[in-house]
Structure 1
Amino acid sequence: MPIIVENSLPACAVLESENIFVMTHHRATTQHIRPLRIAILNLMPTKIVTETQILRCLSNTPIQIEIDLIQTATHKSTNTPEDHLLKFYQTFDDIKDQYYDGFIITGAPVEKMDFEEVDYWPELVEIMEWTKTHVHSTLHICWGAQAGLYYHYGIQKHLLPKKLAGIYKHHIMPNRTNESLLRGFDDVFKAPHSRYTTVLSEDILCNHNLILLAESYEAGPYLIAAKNGRQLFVTGHSEYDKETLAKEYFRDLHKGIHPDIPENYFDGDDPHNEPRLSWRSHSTLLFTNWLNYYVYQSTPYELNSLI
């Protein structure tokens, strides 16, 4: 899928070096089709890394996507250059009168805090409420998934005894193999997790507005959908690069946190060895299925008809 972004966005050079097709705005305007409008609310502190990871995941089907990058106004990132934020990011006030085919809410390193203690929680609540009328399908990732499940459906998160970090096997739930999001999935597939909190399968199964699509015996619920398909929740980080968990592990090690070695990740479970990339095909299929079946195939041509 051609990703339509500003030529000077750092992700452009990275993606083009990986032979991923990135389309400039000029070329896009010469094609007489309506691109999908996707906004990414990037809550991660290292925004350039995260935007590149997600854009990579969105790049594998043949439809144009027009991307807007969104940041919170009530919390300023200190790990991303200010000129990058000013050039490429908007705030909710800038886009609240617009409509989107798809919207992505990323994770954030605030899991140990109660939701209401997060300084931008009121702003995030406003955005999540707005997505009900201005977005056709919203994809929530990791903490973003926990926040969405809590706000929309009252699902509580629970603190784990220790950080869950590694690559875990997942399985499709019985009688869910025909769900559109799962088309092409293997019976057992792998995905990364990196978090201190979780939601419980029994809480999802007891909610009549939600469908548990896939889970892990080790990592818990993984893919959750609202029954109307307008909201999807991914509790892991399928967008992660090969080196992401390694960087997190060595960062925490240098901070004196003494983290456990990420499970099923380094060759031989030895952090001196290279990590093994074993989830890329799942990640690509997950994002492609979301874009195709939950966005492109069902979004209205006139987006303002969503309301």
Structure 2
Amino acid sequence: MPIRIPENLPAQNVLLGENIFTMDSQRAASQDIRPMEVAILNLMPNKIETEVQLLRLLSNTPLQINVDLIRINDLAPKHTPQSHMDAFYHDFNDVADKRYDGLIVTGAPLALLDYEDVNYWDTMKTILEWANRNVQSTLYLCWAAHAAMYHFYGIQRKLRDVKLSGVYHHQVKDPHNELLRGFDPEFYAPHSRYGYINTDEYESIEGVKVIAESEEAGAYVVASDDKRMVFITGHPEYDPETLADEYQRDVQAGLNPNIPCNYFPGDDPTQSPLVRWRSHGSLLFTNWINYYVYQTTPYDLNQLVEKNQHKR
């Protein structure tokens, strides 16, 4: 089954060009099934690029998914036209009374800022609490994963002196966890961040487990036992060239960045990147949608509030 996205969203043409099945609202209206309702809170500056990356991963499921794009405020970021934001994004206040099967909260380029200094932190806290009441399962990516750990559990991330950037080797710690069903015991995943939280800090939280990690990059997939929260510290959604684009951006800004690890053949930035994470990224999102969302969510989403009020 396809994902259902807003009609005329630019990502639709990109995905169709990759032979990925999408469906607009008019065609989806004829389907006599209950689709999954998934929201994406997109905090990345290049909204369109991130939309394509996430929608691509959500498309590999037999379920029909209705996708709502949510913005945290009405300001258009530098790399996205205001017209795009106005046409395709919902203000959070417009969906605050809605319930969702799943929510994805992206990373954000806020690595060196204290959470309390982020200009939308108060709104972010409101959304996190709203998700706890109105969403069956939430997937937090990179900065959002650390922000959610801070908000819900009071664990403050630490900062590296040098940015962690590259594609790192990981090990599955809990092969029986449904989120990692079908994974090889070892796999690769991209990271691009300064922040980190030690594995023992995650595991000090009752009902939270690190289920995949890396000797170099640390904890990667962290999940709550009730399947309601998943914390991904890397970027399984990244395109082949995303780390290269970030590296060239930092070079041009005079930041003298390190070459991303295990990414360019021979550590030569003139070479095409070696891509070895996309199958695991696709499987991770498919497992989340199937086992953490579809298999646990009530058919009537109005039951979510009653069900989840007793969780925390």
Smaller-chain TM-score range? over 0.9
In the alignment, is the contact (CA less than 8 A) between 1:11 and 1:48 conserved in 2?
yes
* 1:239 equivalenced with 2:237 (yes/no): yes
* 1:56 equivalenced with 2:50 (yes/no): no
1:280 counterpart letter in structure 2:
R
SS state at 2:285 partner: helix
SS state at 1:102 partner: strand
- Name the residue aligned to 1:251: 249
SS state at 2:33 partner: coil
Deviation at 1:156, TM superposition (A): 1.3
Aligned partner of 2:304 among 295, 303, 306: 306
SS state at 2:67 partner: strand
Deviation at 1:75, TM superposition (A): 5.4
* 1:172 equivalenced with 2:147 (yes/no): no
Counterparts of 2:301 and 2:247 in 1: how far apart (Å)? 43
SS state at 1:57 partner: helix
| Closer/same/farther in 2, CA of residues 187 and 99 from structure 1, 3 Å limit | same
Counterparts of 1:75 and 1:108 in 2: how far apart (Å)? 15
- Name the residue aligned to 1:294: 292
In the alignment, is the contact (CA less than 8 A) between 2:167 and 2:261 conserved in 1?
yes
Unaligned segments of structure 2, at least 5 residues: 306-312
* 1:19 equivalenced with 2:27 (yes/no): no
| Closer/same/farther in 2, CA of residues 145 and 166 from structure 1, 3 Å limit | same
Unaligned segments of structure 1, at least 5 residues: none
- Structure 1 window deviating more from structure 2 (132-141 vs 72-81): it is 72-81
SS state at 1:184 partner: coil
Aligned partner of 1:214 among 206, 212, 215: 212
Counterparts of 1:254 and 1:111 in 2: how far apart (Å)? 19
- Name the residue aligned to 2:89: 89
Q: In the TM superposition, what are the counterparts of 1:68-107 in structure 2 within 5 Å?
A: 68-73=68-73, 76-107=76-107
In the alignment, is the contact (CA less than 8 A) between 1:146 and 1:157 conserved in 2?
yes
In the alignment, is the contact (CA less than 8 A) between 1:75 and 1:120 conserved in 2?
no
1:172 counterpart letter in structure 2:
V
Deviation at 1:228, TM superposition (A): 1.2
* 1:188 equivalenced with 2:182 (yes/no): no
Counterparts of 2:260 and 2:203 in 1: how far apart (Å)? 29
1:56 counterpart letter in structure 2:
R
2:302 counterpart letter in structure 1:
N
In the alignment, is the contact (CA less than 8 A) between 2:76 and 2:82 conserved in 1?
no
Counterparts of 1:110 and 1:83 in 2: how far apart (Å)? 25
1:30 counterpart letter in structure 2:
S
Deviation at 1:259, TM superposition (A): 0.5
- Name the residue aligned to 2:308: none
- Structure 1 window deviating more from structure 2 (47-56 vs 204-213): it is 204-213
Counterparts of 2:75 and 2:113 in 1: how far apart (Å)? 15
1:259 counterpart letter in structure 2:
P
Q: Per-residue CA shift, 1:94-152, capped at 9, x if unaligned?
A: 10000000001000000111111000000000000011110000000000100111111
In the alignment, is the contact (CA less than 8 A) between 2:74 and 2:91 conserved in 1?
no
- Structure 1 window deviating more from structure 2 (120-129 vs 66-75): it is 66-75
Counterparts of 1:47 and 1:18 in 2: how far apart (Å)? 19
| Count of aligned pairs | 305
| Closer/same/farther in 2, CA of residues 157 and 74 from structure 1, 3 Å limit | farther
- Structure 1 window deviating more from structure 2 (116-125 vs 67-76): it is 67-76
1:265 counterpart letter in structure 2:
Y
In the alignment, is the contact (CA less than 8 A) between 1:172 and 1:213 conserved in 2?
yes
* 1:263 equivalenced with 2:261 (yes/no): yes
Deviation at 1:74, TM superposition (A): 6.9
